Structure 1
Amino acid sequence: MHSLLSQWQPRLRALATAGLGEDSAHDINHLQRVWRNARVLLQEHAQADALTVMAACYLHDLVNLPKNHPERHLASRQAAVLACRQLAEQDFPAEKLAGVAHAIETHSFSADLRPTTIEAQIVQDADRIDALGAVGLARLFYTAARMDSALAHGTDPLAQHRALNDKAYALDHIVTKLDKLPGKMQTAAGRALAEQRLAVLTDFRAAFAGEWGVSRVLN
């Protein structure tokens, strides 16, 4: 299997790179981090097909619509169709295409589809882990800037006296979505890693709110 992965990895990278847009939160570095996360999860699931997982990790963002796009929830299905077509043209093992498609379709939070194979569960966890921790924090604010969101609410950054709104305030996204990810993990290893990385975000949120308040007093 290792030789097969080594054979396919550069080809998958090439396919992924050719389809990438200008979104640095979903660039080749993101895809490689997702595959790295997946390799960690594969260690506790030896029965999973690593080639299927690797292909889905590299190709899951072939169609990547902005988070505020009205068809965002359809992007993963479109990516699955495109990935299978491109893989078939590259003579990827035909018996693995359905598994790759399912893993790509179900990785998306927006699509809200349940992964039913261990390969798809690993890919979903691996992708969501990259939304947490220090890198996840950087991706959060990068994406918020692309959507013209404010850093935080001017007088109530922790939403103690208002409704959360992560479309308007980047900091709200930690509570509206990201702190729920560990509980949605499909694998035990994914849950443990997600909980470790979530601590980075919760500590940052508290520190941010403290500094935000200080800055307002000083000004």
Structure 2
Amino acid sequence: MSEVRSGWRAEVEGYVEREARPVEKFGHQPRLYALTLRVGAGLAYDDDVVFAAAWLHDMGVFIGHRPEERELLERWDNVAYALRITPDVLAGFGFPEDKIAAVLECIRTHQPHFEPTTIEATILRDADILEQLGAVGILRTVTKVGRDTRFITFTHAVASLQRALDTLPQMLRLPSSRLLAEEKLAVHRAFLQGAADEAGSLLY
């Protein structure tokens, strides 16, 4: 059963749920925040900062927030967009003003190729990497086929999943994250092997 929230957290959740399009984009936020709690267990950090960043970091990938024209979309910086709108969104919901800069730093460095500079940013980045692995990572990737300019066929999706397997595990910073990754990686490897065994050169 979902936890009932009040105050600014409930406002942020409701806002993201309303704005998330396509609808499957919404699930990433609650899963990501749940992962941050597991990654950060036993660590001293500001959960308000992580919560806000986890829910708002991907606003720029939603239909209605991102451009629709293919050429513009290929050049679109969804992180820059999230950084631009987040201060006003949080301020409007009564989020502590003195924590907004820390939220922005988490959003700025949440992608794997950036180096986090705070414990909150490290927790978020590790959790976001974990969301790209295992069964959930596979689902998130396959749903993009035919809907994302990077994923025209299943072959593109499998190539992306293989890159994730090859590159992301070593980018995890925290011991808790590496432990959580173990089961996900086993699922990830099994899927890729199964796809290769079943489809061979006929995946398309």
User: With structure 1 as the length reference, what TM-score do the two structures score?
Assistant: 0.77
Residue type at the aligned position of 1:101:
L
Matched, 1:105 2:103: no
What does residue 61 of structure 1 align with?
58
- Higher Rg: 1
Gaps of 5+ in 1: 153-168
Alpha-carbon offset, residue 23 of structure 1: 5.7
1:8 alignment counterpart: 8
2:8 and 2:94 in contact (8 A); partners too: no
- How many angstroms apart in 1 are the aligned matches of 2:174 and 2:15? 28
Matches within 5 A, 1:32-181: 32-45=30-43, 47-64=44-61, 65=66, 69-72=73-76, 74-109=77-112, 112-147=113-148, 149-152=152-155, 169-181=156-168
Q: Secondary structure at the match of 1:144?
A: coil
| C-alpha RMSD over aligned residues | 2.3
Give, in whole Å, the separation in 2 of the partners of 1:6 and 1:179: 41
TM-score by length of 2: 0.83
Q: Which of residues 199, 207, 211 in structure 1 aligns to 2:194?
A: 207
Letter in 2 for 1:63: G
Given that 1:81 and 1:101 are in contact with CA atoms closer than 8 Å, whether structure 2 keeps it comes out as no
Give percent identity, aligned residues only.
Answer: 30
Equivalent in 172, 175, 192 of residue 185 of structure 1? 172
AA aligned to 1:13 is: E
Query: Equivalents in 2 of 1:108, 1:96: separation in Å?
Result: 21
Contact 1:44 1:189 in 2 (8 A): no
